A and B are shown apart, each in its own frame.
Chain A
Amino acid sequence: MPGRRLSKWVVAVPMGVLALVTIYPLVFTANVAMKTRREYILDRFSLTDSLRWDNLVTAWTSIGMARYFANSLIVVTASVVTLLLLGSMAGFALSQLRFRGSKAFFLGCLAALFIPFQVIMVPLARVMADTGLIDTYPGLVLAYVAQFLPFTIFLMTSYYKTIPAEIVDAARIDGNTVYGVYRRIMLPMGAPALLSVGILNALFCWNDVLISLLMMPSADHRTLMVGVTSLRGQYSDDIPTFASGVLIAAVPVLLTYLFLQRQIADGVTAGSTKG
Chain B
Amino acid sequence: MPLRSSSSLVRPAGSGRANGPGTSPARHPAGSRQHARGARAERLAPYILLAPAILIIVALRLWPLLLGVNFSFTGDGADNGTTVGWANYLELLEDPLFRGALGNVGLLVVLLPVAVAIPGLLATFIYLRVPGHRVYRSVYFFPAVLSPVIIGAIFNLMLAFDGPLNAVLAVIGLGPVDWLGDPDVAKFTVVGVHIWATFGMALVVFLAGFASLNPSLLDAARVDGASLRQSIWHVIIPSLTRTIQFVFVTTMIGMLTSMFGLLYVMTSGGPEGSTYLPEYYIWIQQGQMNRPALASAASTVLFLIMLVAGLLQISVLRRAGREN
Chain A positions within 8 Å of B, measured between CB atoms, are 7-9, 11-12, 15-16, 18-19, 22-26, 28-29, 32, 44-45, 86-87, 89-90, 92-94, 96-99, 102, 105, 108-109, 111-112, 114-127, 142-143, 145-147, 149-150, 153, 165, 168-169, 172-173, 175, 177-179, 182, 203, 206-210, 213-214, 225, 228-229, 231-232, 239, 242-243, 246, 249-250, 253, 256-257, 261, 264-265, 268-269, 271-273, 275
A260 shortest CB reach to chain B, Å: 10
Contact B52 A89 (CB under 8 A): yes
For the complex with contacts A114-B310, A125-B286, A203-B145, 14 further pairs of A-B residues with Cβ separation under 8 Å are A8-B129, A18-B136, A90-B54, A115-B61, A115-B303, A119-B299, A123-B67, A165-B22, A210-B260, A229-B149, A231-B153, A232-B265, A246-B153, A272-B242
B253: A residues at CB distance < 8 A: 116
Contact B61 A150 (CB under 8 A): yes
> Is B243 an interface position by the 8 A CB rule?
yes
Interface size range of chain B in the complex: 35 or more
Known: A98-B19, A209-B148. A118 touches B246 (CB 8 A): no
Contact A123 B71 (CB under 8 A): yes
Question: What are some 19 contacts across the A-B interface (CB < 8 A)?
Answer: A8-B130, A19-B132, A22-B196, A44-B163, A86-B53, A90-B49, A96-B17, A112-B57, A120-B61, A120-B299, A123-B68, A142-B56, A149-B57, A179-B45, A209-B264, A246-B154, A253-B150, A257-B145, A275-B246
A225: B residues at CB distance < 8 A: 147, 149-150, 261
B16: A residues at CB distance < 8 A: 97-99, 178
A243: B residues at CB distance < 8 A: 157
B138-172 contact mask (Cβ, 8 Å, vs A): 1 or 0: 11111101111110011111100001100100000
Contact B148 A177 (CB under 8 A): no
Task: Kindly identify, within residues 287 to 308 of chain B, every residue whose CB is under 8 Å from any CB belonging to chain A.
Answer: 287, 292, 295-296, 299-300, 302-303, 306
Which one of B89-97, B173-181, B183-191, B277-285 is at the A interface? B277-285
CA distance in complex: A232, B201 (Å): 28
Known: A99-B16, A165-B20, A268-B201. A111 touches B62 (CB 8 A): yes
Contact A109 B57 (CB under 8 A): yes
Number of A-B contacts (CB under 8 A): 300
> Is B128 an interface position by the 8 A CB rule?
yes
CA distance in complex: A32, B164 (Å): 12
Contact A210 B146 (CB under 8 A): no
A214 shortest CB reach to chain B, Å: 7
B155: A residues at CB distance < 8 A: 25
Known: A98-B19, A118-B257. A19 touches B135 (CB 8 A): yes
A218 shortest CB reach to chain B, Å: 14
Name the one of A116, A153, A165, A272 contacting B209, with C-beta atoms under 8 angstroms. Answer: A272
